[in-house]
Amino acid sequence: MNTRDFLLLMLALGAVTYLPRMLPLVVLSRRALPGWFAEWLELIPAAILSALIAPTLFAYSDPRMFSLGKVELLAALPTLFIAFKTRSLAGTVIVGMLCYWGLCRVM
């Protein structure tokens, strides 16, 4: 692929990445949302975060396969505990990393 084609492809990919990020922000920030939609959006962050984490903890990626024995899941238990107890992002990230690192070494 030559330089021009590569840059054109990157520009196109940039556009399809940027537009979903930009359009709702610019359009929705200027109007009052209907009640049900605002309530729906309130639930979206918890839903997205949970949806992002679940496969990391409960499934292998290649091939995709369910598992209850991943190191990621084991390390998540103390991480979750610390998150609930301390409500500290820094503390939780560090404890999570240490647990994961330790478990990787013994397993």
Partner 1 sequence: MMKSDATETIGNDVIKAGLAAAWPICLGYFPIGLSLGVLAQKGGLAPWQMAAMSILIFAGGSQFITVAMLGAAASPLAIISTVFMVNLRHLLMSSALAVHFPNVSRRFLTLFAYGITDESFAVNLTRFNQGGWNRYSALTLNHAANATWVTSTVLGVYIGQLVPPGAAGVDYALTGMFICLLVFQLRGHIFIITALIAATCSLLAYLWLPGNAYVIVASCSAATAGLILKRTLRKRESTR
User: Which lies closer to partner 1 via its Cβ, residue 69 or residue 89?
Assistant: 89
Residue 10 interacting with partner 1 (CB under 8 A): yes
Give min distance, CB of 70 to partner 1, in A: 11
Residue 17 interacting with partner 1 (CB under 8 A): yes
**Nearest-5° angle of CA 46, CA 61, CA 17?**
60
Give min distance, CB of 96 to partner 1, in A: 3
Neighbours of 34 (CB within 10 A): 9
Give the contact letters, 29-48, x = binds to partner 1 (CB under 8 A), - = no: xx--x--x-xxxx-xxxxxx
The amino acid sitting at 49 is: L
Residue 107 interacting with partner 1 (CB under 8 A): no
Asked if 58 contacts 68 with a C-beta cutoff of 8 angstroms, the reply is yes
Element holding 59 (H helix, E strand): strand 59-61
Neighbours of 55 (CB within 10 A): 13
- Region 65-84 residues binding partner 1, contact defined as CB under 8 A: 65-66, 72, 75-76, 79-80, 83-84
